[in-house]
Amino acid sequence: MAERVEIEHVTMKVSSREPEHVRQQLEQWLATKVDHASDVTVSDLEGSEANGMSSDTTLFRARWHDAEGDHDERLVARIAPDVHDVPVFPKYDLQGQFDVIRAVAALTKVPVPRPWWCEPRDDLLGAPFFVMSRVEGIVPPDVMPYPFGDNWLYDAGVDNQRKLQEATVAAIAALHEVPDAVERLPFLEKDKPGDTHLRRHVANTRAWYDMVAREGAPSTLVERAFDWLDANWPRHESAAVLSWGDSRIGNVLYRDFEPAALLDWEMAGLGPRELDVAWLVYAHRVFQDITGALGLPGMPHFLQPAEVATQYESLTGYAVRDLRWFMVYGAVQWGIVFLRTGARQVHFGEREWPEDRDEIMHNRIHLETLLDDITE
């Protein structure tokens, strides 16, 4: 076991929606979605304890009677954030998220929740939403980060940790094998100009950062990293695949150390395979570095870049290239997320802006170190 370190547990507010209003609206809406439904009730409403800081996630139980008999379903509503609650992303395509989950379910063996309905209107809950089945499983915690110790993954031992790593890499590899992803999933194409999928991907990320900067959180470090990315663009870009986008273990429900469902598809897109591979290893690096800064051992053996790349190649035959570049790109995106969630904390009165906005980025030191290491 790791040495226990007492750190204040901070719960960040993500929504101003009233649960009872959400329950009533879901109940009325559900009665319109099921043919010849009667005795429709929605109950047991609760916020998700899973990780995530973008969309609102509401768990609930729905009961109804129809021609097939009585139904009792445990469901999840993913609701786009209220525009007044400082959303992480510039826009939320809930229909796109719903459609990509359906595509993954239809075209692969990658486990995802069953998608039920998508509601594009914003007059019911204040924003579009979709409903999917609730999947049983456990998630590696973000708060406190799993490398801190005293949680199921840390205590599982090296063999089970490796089992989880290999199963997660295999799920990502299977996701990338969706045939003709560009033609099948055109709604995932990024809308900013660029002559390749990666160029358009980065252009969208830059536009996202520009919005965050305009609204009070400019970062000299993020801008420096964008300059480095432009100056060191990969010489080779693989053919575009379906990219999960937020491919970290904190977005996976596990059972017996294997994925039971891949969650959180806000960042899905089309692009090189390295986007997901690098994001997977960088997400762990963020938590491992925080752990090390506190003097804890963490999990330094876990999700190491070279090992993950080797595992991925063994499954797909594709040799990962320019992984360091893609890790810098992942670090930039993480930095933007931290800038935005910091702005949300300021909005809800949970903290004040630091004079140097870069201080609000939890991955600041690692991004600085990463850039220093490759520019020396």
- Which of 246, 264, 322, 358 is catalytic? The answer is 246
d(CA 265, CA 285) in angstroms, rounded, equals: 21
pLDDT of residue 374: 62
Closest CA to 98 of 81, 82, 114: 114
Q: Is the pLDDT of residue 82 over 50?
A: yes
Label residue 201 by pLDDT band (50, 70, 90).
Answer: very high
What is the DSSP code string of 246-292? Answer: S--GGGEEEETTEEEEE---TT-EEE-THHHHHHHHHHHHHHHHHHH
d(CA 114, CA 287) in angstroms, rounded, equals: 30
Location of each CATH 3.90.1200.10 domain in the chain? 146-375
Please, what is the end-to-end C-alpha distance for the chain in angstroms?
38
Q: What is the mean pLDDT of the chain?
A: 91
Q: Is the pLDDT of residue 6 over 50?
A: no
Q: Is the pLDDT of residue 59 over 60?
A: yes
Fold of 19-133: Phosphorylase Kinase; domain 1 (3.30.200)
Percent of the chain surpassing pLDDT 70: 93
Cα pseudo-dihedral 261, 267, 268, 269, rounded to 10: -170
151: three-class secondary structure by DSSP: coil
pLDDT of residue 18: 86
pLDDT of residue 34: 87
Fold of 146-375: Aminoglycoside 3'-phosphotransferase; Chain: A, domain 2 (3.90.1200)
Q: Is the pLDDT of residue 14 over 50?
A: no
Q: Is the pLDDT of residue 15 over 60?
A: no
d(CA 228, CA 51) in angstroms, rounded, equals: 31
> Is 246 one of the catalytic residues?
yes
Longest dimension (CA), the chain: 70
Per residue in 126-135, pLDDT (tens digit) is 889 999 999 9
**Cβ atoms 339, 360 nearer than 8 A:** yes
pTM listed for this prediction: 0.90
Label residue 7 by pLDDT band (50, 70, 90).
Answer: very low
What sign has the CA pseudo-torsion 78, 84, 85, 91? positive
Cis preceding-peptide flag for 144 (omega within 30 of 0): yes
Q: Is the pLDDT of residue 230 over 50?
A: yes
pLDDT of residue 11: 47
Cα pseudo-dihedral 311, 316, 318, 320, rounded to 10: -40
Q: Is the pLDDT of residue 169 over 70?
A: yes
Region 267-277: mean pLDDT is 97
